Amino acid sequence: MSAIVAYELTQRFGSDVALDAVDLALEQGEHLAVLGDNGAGKTTLLRILATAARPTSGRLEIFGLDAMRERKALRAQIGFVAHAPGLYPALSATENLEFFCTLHDIDRKRVPEVLAQVGLTNVAHRLADRLSRGEQQRLAIGRAVLHGPRLLVLDEPDASLDSGGPDLLASVMRGKSAVLATHDHALANRLCQRTVVLRNGRSLGAGTRLRVVR
């Protein structure tokens, strides 16, 4: 069973076509990079894959389930890092994660483990709005992996991360299927086995990292 099978995903906003009949396949455990200029459709594609948006047309299966009909069931298996960290500024890093433990119905004992994984143990009790932008991004990544998802959908997760960012991403992606949108070709090559390039909402095709480098 594939992790993702997407067929002719199309997203229109009025007369604008943000995503134009994009096909995509991702095997379990595979990492796919999505590259493209600003406005190419990367975020739109990732929001659909994370079940945060419904495509105008097309078909999407995630772990064999219809992503349009089984959204609630799939959300327990997907971790999404969006453009904005989306944290609660008046709650501490620990409180932010504990809140999401309740929503995911998982034990709060997982929180210290995740904070250690994303390197935030030292600032565990600091309010989210007192964290640096990079620390906020680490916390958002921690929230995405909190419930042990099988699929990670990461929209430019390297934004604001320091030099330890690639290692962090490699560690959270290990053993999971992942789709990673980035502008950093070197990061895509390091973390992903395959790459798809988008331009003006259309897929220019997927290839191995070697082909993209050339």
Residues forming the site for other proteins (CB under 8 A): 50-54, 71-73, 75-76, 78, 80, 82-91, 95, 99-100, 102-105, 127, 143, 147
Q: How far is the CB of 197 from other proteins (least distance, A)?
A: 26
Give the residue carrying structure tokens 């990367």. 42
User: By C-beta, is 27 or 65 nearer to other proteins?
Assistant: 65
Run of H or E residues at 199: strand 194-199
Paired tokens of 207: 């290839």
Report the candidate in 8, 33, 35, 34 with the shortest Cα–Cα distance to residue 22: 8
Nearer to other proteins, 17 or 52 (CB): 52
Decide whether 86 or 205 has the Cβ nearer to other proteins: 86
Shortest reach from residue 204's CB to other proteins, in Å: 29
**Residue 79 C-beta: closest distance to other proteins, Å:** 9
| Backbone torsion region of residue 33, taken as left when φ is above 0, otherwise alpha when ψ lies between -120 and 50, otherwise beta | beta
Cα of 137 vs its chain's centroid, Å:
12
Of residues 87 and 118, the one with the C-beta less far from other proteins:
87
Please report how close the Cβ of residue 130 comes to other proteins at its closest, in angstroms.
11
- The rounded distance, in Å, linking the Cα atoms of 139 and 126 is 12
